[in-house]
Structure 1
Amino acid sequence: MTRHSQRYRTTTLPFSYRDKGVDFELDSFTVDDGDRIALELNPSQTEIDIASAVSSSDSSGVPNWDTVTLYGKLYLPEETIKAVFPQGERAQPPAKLYVTIRCHETIYRDRVVISKSPTTSGEYEVELEVPKNTVRGTVELRPYLVRTEAHPGEEPNDYADQKNFRVASGKLYYIVVDRDNDEERAAIDGERVRFSQNAHLPDGNKLYYLDFRNMSRPKLWINSDHPRIAEVLQSRGSVGAEARMRDVILDQVSYGVWVQLLVRAGSAVDVEGEVEHEWQEMVLQTFARNLYDTNNVPEATRRLKGDLSDPETLPHVIQRIDSELQEYIDPREQLIHLMEEGLQI
């Protein structure tokens, strides 16, 4: 793994942050239980096309892979630790290191913890699983170093002092897992259309609508009656004002969509903790365990069904759902990026 000095940009955050403070390199991947395939990347390459490696299909034309696993390393330099933690915390930094997995097309987001607190400088092995039923098109991977404890000091300083503040990040990779001709791959479809010209869509200035007419395959409609918003949502960049605005809009949309999907999936759970449709299973697998702090998914889904059905517990479970989605989506991150761009204009 190449070691090199980093040039850091100055941010408008009220504390020290390093957007290139974590070295991130991917070197290989596997498809299901197949042999590991080496990635021969150029030093500056961030887009990795593995669509051809996972394009095999069964007789019905449906891709027959389940999981792509990517392998690599993270390197956390000592200079990053010194830059984002005060002297007294550098020996045992109260931080965790994780990689986010995000797919805009299916509004999927997850994270894989690479190192729990304390996280010291050094090299860490990375193994990231990407399930087929949660993604489509391009998947984004990015590492973050995140503070895990509030700083006990009362005096203001140049360091982040609150729990869950991100203090460093690294290279953003774009993993292409399929092409446009694989539209049937996603559990949830999306399309941009003018609401004003479609009778089955709501009137007014709605930004989006989640359509459950086909319960086996919900569809997300984005209102192209708002052409500027629709244009921003098609932005593919990772920096700049449009990319930041796109991410904030997607966070807003995904929050409302996830609430609907989670409530509908939880309400559909049967007495054995099972559901009928693939998207319902995906939603419950993603959220139910965290909502009830258990690794037993059937137990968690049954409890969710009960809480959603009881008027006395409904407000409390909605509050837990809100808290979980705020943690899952982390809208603060994208809002901070957007504010940074605004202050530079």
Structure 2
Amino acid sequence: MTRSQHYRSRSLPFSYRENGIQFDPISYTIDGDDHTEFDLNPARTEIDLTNALPTDDDTAVAEWETLTITADLHISEEVISAVFPSGERDQPPAKLYVTIRCHETIYRDRVLVTDAPTMPGTYEISIPVKKDQVRGTVELRPYLARTRDRDGTGEYASQQNFRVASGTIYNILIDRPEDEEPPSIDGEQVSFSQTPHLPGGEKLYYLDFRNEKRPKLWINADHPRITEVLQSQGSVGAEARMRDVILDQIGYGVWQQLVVRAAAAVDDDGNPEHEWQQTVLETFARNMYDVDDLNEAIYRLRTDIESPASLPHMIQRLDEELQEYLDPREQLIKLMEEGLQI
């Protein structure tokens, strides 16, 4: 979600600002050591710290106790005016806090930033995350909530502890399952319209080969509804089905580019230049040509890439293999079944 002042209201019986709190992670420390600053683009909401947190080289067991995230939170006068009646705006009866959630360990906590009154302005907060309480991904989100009841109903929330504003959810990845390898292709969300080296128009994604050694996938944050769906964490429901279908669509184009690039990079000895190219060829080449020998499959793929006569047949083989690999039919059926229940 881009940082803008165009806040979106939820379907609630009172005024609510879903992106009324600007939430900016600044840095982190591990067990009180020196601060390390985050280098985040405005639309990036997943922070991967799996390689930053220390582990024992022999046992791969995490060797840290407390990860502390430092962040800034900003609330504008516009938001205060939107969620509190005029008589409360000088001294808003509100508390500002950040929730800490880990779905894998069913852990929930929160860190109080300010108690009532919470005035417009910028606040700094330190958010401690204990290793023995979390696993996998930790979810952080700020909220502004009333601290007392008020008489009347109408446009504004009236009961104590009703939330009246929130901010962007940040997902902090602290470790991976033992059998899960880090992604070989980096991915990040960013506004294409505000990034000079990315294509203009309404592109959904762009695979960046400026660093041929490690390509990077950019998702266009100018489409906030799509990026919201892509960030959903659930495994059931309409959003999860839509997310999987969108990922299949992006994955098809990305894999197609990677296979062609990898095949074109193979030298006369049948060896690609970079590790990711070897991985891509091992994944797809043998199935495309229905042979067991990887070297033979790579040679045939490279030959087809270079020949105008055989290139169309190679593209057809690749299309068939990607449909088998991604199986988009399964995700489309699940989405259709979900839609029929609505």
After TM superposition, the score normalised by the length of structure 2 is 0.52
1:165 to 156, 162, 172: 162
> What is the distance in 1 between the residues matched to 2:128 and 2:58?
26
Q: For the residues of structure 2 that align with 1:9 and 1:110, how far apart are their CA atoms? A: 26
1:79 deviates by 0.5
Aligned runs of 1:4-15 on 2, under 5 Å? Answer: 5-15=4-14
Q: Alignment partner of 1:81: what SS?
A: helix
Match of 1:237 in 2: 232
Post-superposition Cα deviations, 1:265-288, rounded to whole Å, max 9, x if no partner, equal: xxxxxxxxxxxxxxxxxxxxxxxx
SS in 2 for 1:133: helix
In the alignment, the residues of structure 2 paired with residue 19 and residue 239 of structure 1 have an alpha-carbon distance, to the nearest angstrom, of 20
Q: Which residue does the alignment assign to 1:284?
A: none
Q: Which has the larger radius of gyration?
A: 2
CA distance in 1 between counterparts of 2:44 and 2:99 reads 19
TM-score (norm 1): 0.52
> Which residue does the alignment assign to 1:86?
85
**C-alpha contact 1:236 1:243 (8 A) present in aligned 2:** no
Asked if structure 2 preserves the Cα contact closer than 8 Å seen for 1:146 and 1:166, the reply is: yes
Give the structure 2 partner of residue 137 of structure 1: 136
Alpha-carbon separation, structure 2, partners of 1:244 and 1:104: 18
Gaps of 5+ in 1: 184-234, 246-341
Counterpart code for 1:14: P
Q: For 1:200-224, what per-residue CA distance to the aligned partner results, in whole angstroms no more than 9, with x for missing partners? A: xxxxxxxxxxxxxxxxxxxxxxxxx
Q: What is the CA–CA distance in structure 1 between the aligned matches of 2:40 and 2:127, rounded to whole Å?
A: 18
Over 3 Å counting, the alpha-carbon distance change for 1:66 and 1:167 in structure 2 is same
Contact between 1:15 and 1:158, CA under 8 Å: does it hold in 2?
A: yes
Give the letter aligned to residue 144 of structure 1.
Answer: Y
AA aligned opposite 2:101: R
Q: Partners in 2 of 1:236 and 1:92 — Cα distance?
A: 36
Q: Deviations over 1:254-313 (max 9, x none)?
A: xxxxxxxxxxxxxxxxxxxxxxxxxxxxxxxxxxxxxxxxxxxxxxxxxxxxxxxxxxxx
* 2:52 match: secondary structure: helix
Q: State the alpha-carbon separation in 1 of the partners of residues 29 and 10 from structure 2.
A: 37
Q: Distance in 2 between matches of 1:38 and 1:10?
A: 32
Q: Secondary structure at the match of 2:71?
A: strand
Please tell me the root mean square deviation across aligned C-alpha atoms, in Å. 2.8
- Report if aligned partners of 1:31, 1:65 keep a CA contact under 8 Å in 2: yes
Whether the 8 Å CA contact 1:96–1:148 is kept in 2: the answer is: yes
| Alignment check: 8 A CA contact 2:19 2:167 kept | yes
Counterpart CA distance in 2 for 1:238 and 1:96 is 27
Moved more, 50-59 or 15-24: 50-59
CA deviation profile, 1:173-223 (whole Å, cap 9, x unmatched): 00000111299xxxxxxxxxxxxxxxxxxxxxxxxxxxxxxxxxxxxxxxx
Deviation at 1:63, TM superposition (A): 1.2
Select between 60-69 and 127-136 the one with higher mean Cα deviation. Answer: 60-69
Residue aligning to 1:177:
174
Q: Which AA in structure 2 matches 1:72? A: A
Determine the C-alpha separation between the residues in 2 that align with 1:55 and 1:243. 38
Deviation at 1:60, TM superposition (A): 4.1
The 1-side partners of 2:161 and 2:115 are apart by 13
Question: Post-superposition shift, 1:35?
Answer: 1.2
Q: Which amino acid aligns with 1:237?
A: S
Moved over 4 A (4+): 238-241
* Separation in structure 1 between the aligned mates of residue 236 and residue 78 of structure 2, nearest angstrom: 29
Determine if contact 2:3/2:42 at 8 Å carries over to the other structure.
no
What amino acid is the match of 1:21?
Answer: G
- Distance (whole Å) between structure 2 residues aligned to residue 126 and residue 8 of structure 1: 23
1:23 is matched with 22
The alignment status of 1:99 with 2:98, answered yes or no, reads yes
SS where residue 52 of structure 1 aligns?
coil
The verdict on how the C-alpha distance between 1:241 and 1:93 changes in structure 2, with shifts beyond 3 A counting, is farther
